Amino acid sequence: MSPIFVAADTRDVHRAAAIARQVSGIAGGMKLGLEFFCANGHEGVLRIAEHGMPIFLDLKLHDIPNTVGKAVEAIAPLAPAVLTVHAAGGRAMLEAAKAAAPRATKIVAVTVLTSLDAADLGEIGIAGSPADQVRRLADLAQASGIDGIVCSGAEVAAVSRSWPKGFFVVPGVRPTGADVADQKRVVTPAQALADGASILVIGRPITEAVDPERAITDIAAEVQQHARV
């Protein structure tokens, strides 16, 4: 299966379905975020799932353990391949999410958003670098018994060494020469995989391309070429 999950960052279910049609057979799955879920709910997710690809629900759940556990139970009928929660919710919340999830759903914890850098962390009272915070939260996630974390490509090499069986989602991935937009800590697809990423989340370089199918085909070819080296 391809490690590339395409981020359909839209509330328009028809646009998301069109993207799914264009990348079906090439992408490893579709990532649907909070914007899409709030606009379309369960029915929208099922509509995209009709295209036969695994669904990554990036909802970043963050609340008291009981509330997050009940939310995961509510999402369970959708059988997402991957579901995100926030590592900052703490160990009990992470444990509750994992306990409520279907066996086939990987629960992964968001560590530090790829739109944040050290200055941003300082503004919310977190000392040290993004890498320091990712390591702390990765240790917490591993101890809680969930499946893995979300981190940038800048940190995935270090955390994969300390968590050999972890599942690592790397967003903010940009092909060589692509616009980084609002992302501050980005890497190329090939580099992220070489450093230990399990799946890559790529959005605008594919979804905003003139020809999304060609864009993902080119990225997949780059990844395959690197894998053969």
Of the residues 31, 60, 70, 106, only one is catalytic, namely: 60
Q: Measured between alpha carbons, how far is 195 from 151 in angstroms, rounded to an integer?
A: 12
Q: Measured between alpha carbons, how far is 173 from 153 in angstroms, rounded to an integer?
A: 8
* For residue 126, pLDDT beyond 70: yes
Q: What is the mean pLDDT of the chain?
A: 92
CA angle 56, 140, 126 (to 5 degrees): 95
- Residue 48, token pair as written in the block: 């995209």
Helix (H) and strand (E) counts in the chain: 10, 8
Strand partners of residue 63: none
pLDDT tens string 158-170: 999 999 999 999 9
Backbone φ/ψ region at 90: left (φ over 0), alpha (ψ -120 to 50), beta = left
Dihedral sign, CA of 91, 183, 215, 223? negative
Taking residue 184's Cβ as centre, other Cβ atoms within 10 Å add up to: 17
CATH C-level class of 4-228: alpha beta
Which of the four pLDDT bands, split at 50, 70 and 90, describes residue 227? low
Would residue 31 show up in a list of annotated catalytic residues for this protein? Answer: no
Mean pLDDT of 165-188: 73
**CA 9: distance to chain centroid?**
12
Q: Measured between alpha carbons, how far is 205 from 207 in angstroms, rounded to an integer?
A: 6
* For residue 229, pLDDT beyond 70: no
Q: Measured between alpha carbons, how far is 28 from 140 in angstroms, rounded to an integer?
A: 28
The secondary structure of residue 187, as a DSSP letter, is B
* For residue 224, pLDDT beyond 90: no
Q: Measured between alpha carbons, how far is 94 from 62 in angstroms, rounded to an integer?
A: 9
Q: What is the CA radius of gyration of the chain?
A: 17
Determine phi and psi for 177, rounding to 5 degrees: 90, -5
**SS3 assignment for 93-108:** HHHHHHHHCCCCCEEE
In the chain, what are the domain boundaries?
4-228
Task: With CA atoms as reference, report the closest residue to 203 among 114, 143, 116.
Answer: 114
What pLDDT score was predicted for residue 132? 94
Task: Give percent of the chain above pLDDT 70.
Answer: 93
pLDDT tens string 207-216: 999 999 999 9
The secondary structure of residue 111, as a DSSP letter, is -
